[in-house]
Structure formats: structure tokens, C-alpha cells
Amino acid sequence: MPVQPVVIGVDSSTQSAKAAFIDAATGRTLAVGRASHHVGGEGGARESDPEVWWHALREAVAAGLKESGLDPSAVIGIAVAGQQHGLVVLDRAGLAVRPALLWNDTRSAPQAAALTEALGGPDAWTARTGSVPVASMTAAKWQWLRENEPRAASAAAAVRLPHDFLTERLAGTAATDPGDASGTCWYSTATGAYDPELLQLIGLDADLLPPVATTGAARIGSLTATAADELGLPAGIAVAAGTGDNMAAAVGLGLGGAGLLDHPALSLGTSGTVFAASRTRPASPALAGFAAADGTYLPLACTLNCTLAVDKIAALLGLGRDAAEAGGEVVLLPYLDGERTPDLPAASGLLTGLRHTTTRQQLLGAAYEGAVVTVLRALDEVLRACGLDPADEAVATRPLRLVGGGARGRHWVETVRRISGRPLLIPDSTELVAVGAAALAASAATGEDPVALAASWQGGEALELPPVQRDLETWERVSGVLERAAPTLLS
């Protein structure tokens, strides 16, 4: 009996690595191996040793092989989707000069502000890159490194993003893709290439950067004998360029040129992320105007404080996650790690509207509401970047695809549904980033379109929740506090 081909999609996130083994023909998930990452740092620092990512990838693949019982010879391709923006600086031996600076390391906020000013303001940046530097962006992190650790910067023989680092370990070939590269603020979505003037501005030699593949699905090489031996896989299988985690999630949802365009998705995880695939190149200072993995664009907004921040509030109150009730008069902005959207890197949490009658359950509910209103305000900006009017009834009633860990939480779903007033679609798959990466791997091995392939894999399986009456009172109360408090939160 012929062996059914299998592809591996790796989701290398902030906290863990997941390796999904997917039947390349049907999209059936055969196994998902997992391994954890370590994140260190205090205050605004968030760092990880890149070698931890490689060890976790190996452990996740081994666990997936064991769980599935597959003959490794069935595997025909592999791709990595990684956490965006992280700065990986390597020496000539390919080893990290220092721990990688992660996307949620906010120490580079001053450098981001200085870079914005140096080029002439937000509009000058969005015209080139689609995005304005904030603390998350890799260019700001490189500038921070140059100013604070010049020896580490001068020792750089290569500069990589997290998924680039892992892809290079797999194929022995340096490569990135337009999607993840567009999160650096040194790649231009206007030209589809690294921007020489921006590289000069931040003092980064283009020779330190990997070549940019045409798409995340492009085959950039084959699994080396060394990597194959470490992973227990056949040498020579296809290695795709891979992409950033958000771009892979869009592929996994079937969003892109061969699928749905201008349809919004909301991911509730460590961060709250809203995005849509579009043919319109985004250029809004309020957004990250990314490229997508398939050659379209991915206007995206990301909030730093989502499920972990609300879980922290629940822990402080001594409550379970689902013990929350609607917040009543209370407003709680859970900006425990500063905030990225809106750009308030120095912010802390804010609580207002307390009464004698306020309960712990209402305080927890207010934390959910603060996080959800923040991310839904960002969603409106994403829709505008797609050339849509969020107030238009046809747009306002378009289903919102809800994904991420929070999409499995009852109160998260209830709060998003109540405050958005939109119908919700909750896909059956919980590993959309890994599934999207698997579609890129399958495309690299077979030449099929990754978005169309992922859409065919879905089979229409999703929980559909009809809209409810929109809670405009909560929307306006929380929005009003945010708008009034923003100048104070900036300081």
C-alpha cells in the first residue's frame, strides 16, 4: 500500500514549539508534538536563547512522530512559522551572540520613537514599510542593541528573525519571506525588498540579512543530513521559507488571494491580534502594515495585554477565569506590560469607577472588557486599511473568526460576542499557525497554492454563533476612559 504523504508545520511561539503532522491530501491532523520554551528577563526585558527553540523543535517533532506512529519516510516537507519581530544576532559559527530580544521586550521604546522622528514621522514610515516603529519592531531592537550593547552588535555575522534561525538550521540555507520580513521595519512593502535608506538609518549592513524568498511557500532548500539526523526525518525533503506566526494563521484560516479577502480574524492569546488578508497595501500609522505569506497583504494590529493579563487579574482576585460578570460601572484597562496598540509602552494597568457595590467578579469582568474593547478598536482600523467602513452594515455584520487559546474560554467568547455584536466563527482546529505552516510545507513540496490547500483542509468545520445585541454602553464607557487616560498613560 502506498504511503500517504505527510507534512510538518511548526509553530515556534513565545512560550512553546508545536509540530503538527498533517495528511497532505486531506488536512487531517495525525499528531501534534509539543515542547516548551524558556523566556527570561525582568521589567521590560523579554529574552530567549535561540538554541532553546531548536531543542524544542526537535523535541516536538520527536513527540509527534511517537504519537502518530508514522514511518518518517512519509514526510515530504516541513515549514516553520515563528513569533514575529524577535532579534537574533549570530556569530560566524551560527551561534547566538546573546539571547534573542523578543517581540514583547519593551526596552526599545525610546529607540522606536527616535527612529520615527529621524525619518520624518509616522507617514514617512508607512509609505515605505507599511508600519511605524514601535518597541516590538526589530529595527528598534537592533538600534537598542547598538546603543546599549555595542560589542554584541559589532560581533554580528548574521541577523535573523526567529523563524529564519530555525529554517536555516533545517535547510542550511539563509532565507526569510516577505511576511515576516515586513515586521522588521527595514523591509519595504512598497518595493518588496530591503530598504537601503532604512538600513543606513539603523546602521545595519544588508549582507547580514537573509535573502527574501518570493513567498513563505517557496522551497528554499532541502532538509540537510545533519538536521535530518537530529530530527529523525528523511534528508532531502522540502523546506519552505516559512513565515511569521500571524501570516501562518491567516493561511490556516484560508485567508488570502486564493481564499477569503477582507474577512477579519481575531486571535486571543498572550497578545490580542486582529488581521485580514487584503489586496490593498496598508499604510496606516495605527497598524502594522504587513505583507502576507502568499503575496497579498496582512493589515494587522496587536495588543500586548490579552489572556495572560486577564489571568493575572483573576489570580490577584482569587477567582477562576470564568467567574467573571459584566463590569457594571468599573473600567479596568489591563495594560500590565505597557501597550502596543494603542502605542503606550510605558503604561500600566488602570482601574476606575469603583463603588461600594463593586464585586470581585465585576472587576474580573471589567478586565475582560478592557482587553476586548482595546482589540476591537484596533479591528476597526484593520477594516479601514482594507478600504472598508466599519460602520457599514455589510461590514459590521461580517463574521469574525475567533481563534487562539481565548477562543476556547467561555467568558472570552461571550465578551467578544456582546461587545462586537458580530456573528462569530470559531474554527474546529486549535493549531491554526501550525496548520498554516503545514500548508506552506505542502506547497513547497507539491506546488499547490497554500491558501487554497488550507481552505480545502478546513472542510467548513467551525462553531457558528449568531450575533447578539451589541453592548454599546460598555463600548463607549471603556473607549471614553481610554481616550481620556491615554495622555497620562504615555508618561
- Residue bearing cell 477565569: 321
In angstroms, the CA 263 to CA 299 distance is: 11
In angstroms, the CA 157 to CA 150 distance is: 14
Q: Give the residue from 35, 117, 41 showing the smallest Cα distance to 86.
A: 41
Q: Give the residue from 35, 137, 435, 84 showing the smallest Cα distance to 245.
A: 84
Beta pairing partners, 275 = 265, 300
Termini Cα distance of the chain = 67
Pairing type for strands 75-82 and 243-244 reads parallel
One-letter amino acid for residue 55 of the chain: H
Burial 28-52 (b: 16+ CB within 10 A, else e): ebbbbbbbebebeeeebebbbebeb
Q: Which three cell numbers stand for residue 465?
A: 454563533
| DSSP element (H, E) containing 35 | strand 29-36
Helix axes 245-252, 450-458, angle to 10 degrees: 60
- Angle value at C-alpha 145, between 144 and 147, nearest 5 degrees: 65
Beta pairing partners, 29 = 22
Burial 375-389 (b: 16+ CB within 10 A, else e): bbbbbbbbbbbbebe
Beta pairing partners, 17 = 12, 35
Helix axes 432-446, 450-458, angle to 10 degrees: 130
On whether the CB atoms of residues 309 and 336 are closer than 8 A, the answer is yes
Helix axes 432-446, 245-252, angle to 10 degrees: 80
State the Cα torsion 53-59-60-65 to the nearest 10°: 150
Annotated active-site residue in 164, 195, 245, 471: 245
Active-site annotation holds for 229: no
On whether the CB atoms of residues 134 and 304 are closer than 8 A, the answer is no
Q: Please tell me whether 263 is known to bind a ligand.
A: no
Burial 210-233 (b: 16+ CB within 10 A, else e): bebbebbbbbbbbbbeebbebbeb
| DSSP element (H, E) containing 329 | none
Q: Please tell me whether 361 is known to bind a ligand.
A: no
Which residues belong to the active site?
Answer: 245
Indicate the annotated binding residues for substrate.
84-85
Indicate the annotated binding residues.
84-85
